[in-house]
Amino acid sequence: MDIKKLIYKSPALSGDYPDFKAETAPDDPFETFYEWFEHAVETGVVEPSAFMFSTVDGEGAPSSRIVNLRDMEADGFIIGSNAESRKGQDMQKNKNVAMTFYWREVGRQIRITGHAEAAPEELNRNDFIRRNPASKALSLTAKQSFELGSMEELEREMREAARQVKENPEAFKTWTLYKVIPSEMEFFQARKDLVHTRLKYERVDDGWKKMLLWP
């Protein structure tokens, strides 16, 4: 097995990338994020709202998974999760989290670090009500990341959860919205000549400090 040969059969950083003038980027990183996200959508990036979400448990062990961005506010990014899942339990013990967006088609990466805060119960209930029936049923099982005995067990639990949803559409239980409030945000624009552009925003007392980084 020679994985190195397979790696080099798929060259990295070979796309047609947009220009990014870091010097004229907004002073607010949320504005830059919105501009980049809008560009990703308009240029046909596949699943631009999907990102790597990393948490840390009470003993300092990291864990990562792909989730979807649900919304953005003036001070943070909104995601949803079962509070009893591994990431939910991690955030109860350690609020430090990281988000990584990677849009291969345009050679762009966004790295965000900060802390997560759970939304009030009423917001969680309202968000749950807006979800589709299958998503509601899955969240009602409240067993995400736990060991599963068989697919038959999963199907049985899902049928029971679907019944509960039909009887009570507001039975949200452990569904929780979290807001990730960044302390740092970095925007990476790839270039074919490898002279990549990296713009970092760092939270300071009176707003944000903006700086270029070496590639």
The CA distance from 117 to 100, in Å, is 18
- Residue 38's domain is classified under what CATH number? 2.30.110.10
Q: What is the pLDDT, as a whole number, of residue 211?
A: 96
Q: Is 89 annotated as a binding residue?
A: no
Mean pLDDT by 10 residues, the chain (215 residues): 84 84 96 98 97 96 96 94 88 96 96 94 71 64 66 74 63 79 97 92 95 94
Q: Is 145 annotated as a binding residue?
A: yes
Q: What is the pLDDT, as a whole number, of residue 181?
A: 97
Domain of 171, in residue numbers: 3-212
Q: Is 86 annotated as a binding residue?
A: yes
Q: What is the pLDDT, as a whole number, of residue 9?
A: 83
Tokens describing residue 27 = 């002073």
Q: Is 173 annotated as a binding residue?
A: no
Q: Is 163 annotated as a binding residue?
A: no
How many structural domains comprise the chain? Answer: 1
Q: What is the pLDDT, as a whole number, of residue 166?
A: 63
pTM: 0.83
